Chains A and B, each alone.
Chain A
Amino acid sequence: MAECHPVGFQWVMEAKARGAKVIHIDPRFTRTSAVADLHVPLRMGTDIAFLGGLIRYVLDNDLYFKEYVVAYTNAAALVGEEFVDTEDLGGLFSGFDPEHGHYDTGSWAYEFADEPHSGADDPQGSAEQEAVGDDHDVKSADQAQSLGSGGASIPAKPLRDETLQHPRSVFQVLKRHFARYTPEMVAEVCGIEPEVFEQVAKWVTSNSGRERTTAWVYSVGWTQHSVGAQYIRSCSILQTLLGNIGRPGGGILALRGHASIQGSTDVPTLYNLLPGYLPMPHAAQHSTVDEYVADAAGKAGFWGNKRAYTVSLLKAWFGDAASAENDFRFDWIPKINGDHSSYRTIADMIAGKVHGYFLVGENPSVGHPNGKMNRFGLANLDWLVVRDLQMIESATFWKEGPEIESGEMAPETIGTEVFFMPAATHTEKEGTFTQTQRVLQWRHKAVEPPADARSDLWFYFHLGRILRKRLAGSTDPRDQALLNLTWDYPTIGETADPDAAAVLREINGVGPDGRAVNGYLELKDDGSTSSGCWIYSGVYADEVNQAARRKPRREQGPVALEWGWAWPLNRRILYNRASADPDGKPWSERKKYVYWDEAAGKWTGDDVPDFEADKRPDYVPPEGARAQAAIGGADPFIMQMDGKAWLYAPSGLVDGPMPTHYEPAESVVENFLYDQQSSPTIERIAGPWNRENPSLSEVFPFQVTTYRLTEHHTAGGMSRTLPYLSELQPEFFVEVSPELAQLRGLVNGEFATLVSARTAIEAKVLVTERIRPVKLRGGQVVHQIGMPYHWSYSGLSTGDNANDLLGIVLDANTHIQEDKVSTADIVPGRRPRGPELLEFVESYRTRAGVGSGKVGVNGRAPDQDPSAIEETGA
Chain B
Amino acid sequence: MKTWLDSWPVFRQLTGADPLGRGVAARSKATEQVVSRTATADRVVKSVCPYCAVGCAQRVFVKDEKIVQIEGDPDSPISRGRLCPKGSASKQLVTSPTRVTTVRYRRPYATDWEDLDLDTAMEMIADRVLEAREKGWQVEDEGKRVNRTMGLASLGGATLDNEENYLMKKLYSALGAIQIENQARI
Do the two chains touch directly in the complex (Cβ atoms below 8 Å apart)?
yes
Q: Which residues of B contact A8 (CB under 8 A)?
A: 52, 54, 78
Q: Which residues of A contact B62 (CB under 8 A)?
A: 446-447
Task: Give the CA-CA distance A261 to B75 in the complex, in Å.
Answer: 24
Residue ID in chain B nearest A10 by CB atoms: B82
Asked whether A270 lies within 8 Å of B162 as measured between CB atoms, the reply is no
Asked whether A816 lies within 8 Å of B163 as measured between CB atoms, the reply is no
A289 at the binding interface (Cβ < 8 Å):
no
Q: Which residues of A contact B47 (CB under 8 A)?
A: 426-427, 443-444, 446
Task: Give the CA-CA distance A258 to B124 in the complex, in Å.
Answer: 31
Contact partner of B162 (CB less than 8 A), chosen from A4, A431, A445, is A431
Q: Given that A259-B52, A268-B165 are contacting pairs, would A722 and B93 also be in contact in the complex, using a CB cutoff of 8 Å?
A: yes
Asked whether A718 lies within 8 Å of B150 as measured between CB atoms, the reply is no
Q: Given that A353-B150, A357-B153 are contacting pairs, would A431 and B163 also be in contact in the complex, using a CB cutoff of 8 Å?
A: yes
Asked whether B182 lies within 8 Å of A470 as measured between CB atoms, the reply is no
Q: Which residues of B contact A532 (CB under 8 A)?
A: 166, 170
Binding site for A on B (CB under 8 A): 45-57, 60, 62, 65-67, 70, 73, 75-80, 82-90, 92-94, 96, 98-113, 116, 118, 121-126, 128-132, 135-137, 141-142, 144-186
Task: Give the CA-CA distance A738 to B176 in the complex, in Å.
Answer: 55
> What is the interface of chain B mostly: helix, strand, loop, or mixed?
mixed
Residue ID in chain B nearest A477 by CB atoms: B147
Contact partner of B52 (CB less than 8 A), chosen from A257, A368, A419, A817, is A257
Please provide the 6 A-B residue pairs with the shortest distance between their CB atoms, ordered closest to farther.
A435-B55, A361-B157, A431-B161, A258-B158, A334-B148, A261-B158
Task: Give the CA-CA distance A447 to B70 in the complex, in Å.
Answer: 13
Q: Which residues of B contact A481 (CB under 8 A)?
A: 173-176
Task: Give the CA-CA distance A411 to B121 in the complex, in Å.
Answer: 21
Task: Give the CA-CA distance A478 to B103 in the complex, in Å.
Answer: 31
Q: Which residues of A contact B144 (CB under 8 A)?
A: 137, 283-284, 335, 337
Beyond A284-B144, A426-B48, A503-B163: 4 further Cβ-contacts under 8 Å? A265-B182, A269-B168, A354-B151, A389-B93
A359 at the binding interface (Cβ < 8 Å):
yes
Name which of A92-100, A107-115, A341-349, A576-584 contacts chain B. Answer: A341-349
Task: Give the CA-CA distance A481 to B149 in the complex, in Å.
Answer: 13
Task: Give the CA-CA distance A432 to B46 in the complex, in Å.
Answer: 12
Q: Given that A354-B153, A355-B152, A722-B92 are contacting pairs, would A433 and B86 also be in contact in the complex, using a CB cutoff of 8 Å?
A: no
A428 at the binding interface (Cβ < 8 Å):
yes
Q: Given that A419-B116, A433-B55, A533-B166 are contacting pairs, would A722 and B182 also be in contact in the complex, using a CB cutoff of 8 Å?
A: no
CB of A648, distance to nearest CB on chain B (Å): 26
Task: Give the CA-CA distance A789 to B74 in the complex, in Å.
Answer: 32
Asked whether B153 lies within 8 Å of A461 as measured between CB atoms, the reply is no
Q: Which residues of A contact B178 (CB under 8 A)?
A: 271, 280, 334-336, 340
Task: Give the CA-CA distance A697 to B103 in the complex, in Å.
Answer: 48
Asked whether A137 lies within 8 Å of B103 as measured between CB atoms, the reply is no
CB of A616, distance to nearest CB on chain B (Å): 32
Asked whether A267 lies within 8 Å of B166 as measured between CB atoms, the reply is yes
Name which of A126-134, A450-458, A520-528, A659-667 contacts chain B. Answer: A450-458
Render A787-815 as a binary contact track against B, CB cut-off 8 A, 1 for contact. Answer: 00000000000000000000000000011
Q: Which residues of A contact B106 (CB under 8 A)?
A: 398, 416-418, 420
Residue ID in chain A nearest B117 by CB atoms: A452
Q: Which residues of A contact B185 (CB under 8 A)?
A: 270, 341-342, 814-816
Task: Give the CA-CA distance A815 to B182 in the complex, in Å.
Answer: 12
Contact partner of B66 (CB less than 8 A), chosen from A258, A391, A447, A552, is A447
CB of B111, distance to nearest CB on chain A (Å): 4
Render A473-500 as a binary contact track against B, CB cut-off 8 A, 1 for contact. Answer: 0000010011001000000000000101
Asked whether B49 lies within 8 Å of A427 as measured between CB atoms, the reply is no
CB of B31, distance to nearest CB on chain A (Å): 26
Asked whether B154 lies within 8 Å of A360 as measured between CB atoms, the reply is yes
Contact partner of B53 (CB less than 8 A), chosen from A10, A255, A335, A390, is A255
Q: Which residues of A contact B135 (CB under 8 A)?
A: 355
Asked whether B137 lies within 8 Å of A478 as measured between CB atoms, the reply is yes
Asked whether A456 lies within 8 Å of B168 as measured between CB atoms, the reply is yes
Q: Which residues of B contact A255 (CB under 8 A)?
A: 53-54
Pairs across A and B, CB under 8 Å, 13 listed: A220-B186, A260-B160, A264-B160, A334-B149, A342-B153, A359-B155, A360-B160, A414-B108, A426-B94, A447-B65, A464-B171, A553-B80, A713-B52
Task: Give the CA-CA distance A223 to B117 in the complex, in Å.
Answer: 42
Interface positions of A from 683 to 740, Cβ below 8 Å from B: 710-714, 718-719, 721-725, 728
Render A531-564 as a binary contact track against B, CB cut-off 8 A, 1 for contact. Answer: 0110010000000000000111110100010011
Asked whether A710 lies within 8 Å of B174 as measured between CB atoms, the reply is no
Q: Given that A463-B126, A721-B98 are contacting pairs, would A361 and B160 also be in contact in the complex, using a CB cutoff of 8 Å?
A: yes
Contact partner of B173 (CB less than 8 A), chosen from A334, A388, A814, is A334
Asked whether A355 lies within 8 Å of B179 as measured between CB atoms, the reply is no
A91 at the binding interface (Cβ < 8 Å):
no
Asked whether A485 lies within 8 Å of B174 as measured between CB atoms, the reply is yes
Asked whether A275 lies within 8 Å of B166 as measured between CB atoms, the reply is yes
Asked whether A259 lies within 8 Å of B86 as measured between CB atoms, the reply is no
Asked whether A354 lies within 8 Å of B150 as measured between CB atoms, the reply is yes
Asked whether B168 lies within 8 Å of A460 as measured between CB atoms, the reply is yes
Residue ID in chain B nearest A388 by CB atoms: B100
Contact partner of A260 (CB less than 8 A), chosen from B125, B147, B158, B181, is B158
Interface positions of A from 382 to 400, Cβ below 8 Å from B: 382-383, 385, 388-391, 395, 398-399
Asked whether A427 lies within 8 Å of B94 as measured between CB atoms, the reply is yes
Q: Which residues of B contact A427 (CB under 8 A)?
A: 45, 47, 60, 67, 70, 90, 94
Task: Give the CA-CA distance A354 to B94 in the complex, in Å.
Answer: 34
Asked whether B146 lies within 8 Å of A260 as measured between CB atoms, the reply is no
A153 at the binding interface (Cβ < 8 Å):
no
Q: Which residues of A contact B57 (CB under 8 A)?
A: 441, 550
A425 at the binding interface (Cβ < 8 Å):
yes
A421 at the binding interface (Cβ < 8 Å):
yes
Q: Which residues of A contact B141 (CB under 8 A)?
A: 283, 337
CB of A442, distance to nearest CB on chain B (Å): 8
Asked whether A265 lies within 8 Å of B67 as measured between CB atoms, the reply is no
Residue ID in chain B nearest A284 by CB atoms: B144
Q: Which residues of B contact A668 (CB under 8 A)?
A: none
Q: Which residues of A contact B55 (CB under 8 A)?
A: 259, 433, 435-437, 439, 441, 564
CB of B81, distance to nearest CB on chain A (Å): 9
Q: Given that A390-B100, A426-B94 are contacting pairs, would A725 and B85 also be in contact in the complex, using a CB cutoff of 8 Å?
A: yes
Task: Give the CA-CA distance A361 to B158 in the complex, in Å.
Answer: 8
Task: Give the CA-CA distance A287 to B121 in the complex, in Å.
Answer: 37
Q: Which residues of B contact A466 (CB under 8 A)?
A: 122-123, 126
Q: Which residues of A contact B110 (CB under 8 A)?
A: 411
Asked whether B161 lies within 8 Å of A258 as measured between CB atoms, the reply is no
- Indicate the member of A271, A355, A718 with the most B CB atoms within 10 Å: A355
- Indicate the member of A416, A426, A498 with the most B CB atoms within 10 Å: A426
- Indicate the member of B65, B125, B181 with the most A CB atoms within 10 Å: B181
Asked whether B145 lies within 8 Å of A260 as measured between CB atoms, the reply is no
Asked whether A383 lies within 8 Å of B128 as measured between CB atoms, the reply is yes
Q: Given that A412-B109, A429-B161, A725-B86 are contacting pairs, would A261 and B103 also be in contact in the complex, using a CB cutoff of 8 Å?
A: no
Contact partner of B60 (CB less than 8 A), chosen from A418, A429, A446, is A446
Q: Which residues of A contact B75 (CB under 8 A)?
A: 550-554
Q: Which residues of B contact A270 (CB under 8 A)?
A: 180-182, 184-185
Asked whether B184 lies within 8 Å of A264 as measured between CB atoms, the reply is yes
Asked whether B165 lies within 8 Å of A263 as measured between CB atoms, the reply is yes
Q: Given that A7-B83, A271-B178, A389-B93 are contacting pairs, would A259 and B132 also be in contact in the complex, using a CB cutoff of 8 Å?
A: no
Q: Which residues of B contact A815 (CB under 8 A)?
A: 185
Residue ID in chain A nearest B124 by CB atoms: A419
CB of B23, distance to nearest CB on chain A (Å): 33
Q: Which residues of A contact B170 (CB under 8 A)?
A: 317, 485, 532
Task: Give the CA-CA distance A206 to B103 in the complex, in Å.
Answer: 60
A781 at the binding interface (Cβ < 8 Å):
no
Residue ID in chain B nearest A360 by CB atoms: B156
Q: Which residues of B contact A120 (CB under 8 A)?
A: none
Q: Which residues of B contact A428 (CB under 8 A)?
A: 94
- Indicate the member of B78, B84, B113 with the most A CB atoms within 10 Å: B78
CB of B40, distance to nearest CB on chain A (Å): 16
